[in-house]
Amino acid sequence: MLIVLASVLGIASMVGAYFAIHSKSLTVAIIATGVVSLISSILFLLLAAPDVAMTEASIGSALTSAIFFLTLNKIRQTNG
């Protein structure tokens, strides 16, 4: 059962990584990075590491995406 879950999450994270690198839109790329981060937090939970899972979910997924979006907004603003 866990093997099936891990494989599904693995395929999802590979798709997310593909979109993060090859997407034309930066917004899609940033959201895909957040998705990969969130999936990796579930993987940490499967590896019996709840502390790391909490850190990854709050920092890697939420705060990093927020900072990326702030930068993107600033760049668009400068562009006019």
Around Cβ 61, how many Cβ atoms within 10 Å? 19
Pairwise CA distance, residues 42 & 54, whole Å: 10
Angle, CA 74 vertex, CA 72 and CA 75 arms, to 5°: 65
Q: Report 15-74 residues binding another protein (CB under 8 A).
A: 17-18, 20-21, 26, 29-30, 33, 36-37, 40, 43-44, 46-56, 58-60, 62-64, 66-68, 70-74
Q: Which residues bind another protein (CB under 8 A)?
A: 2-3, 6-7, 9-10, 13-14, 17-18, 20-21, 26, 29-30, 33, 36-37, 40, 43-44, 46-56, 58-60, 62-64, 66-68, 70-75, 77-79
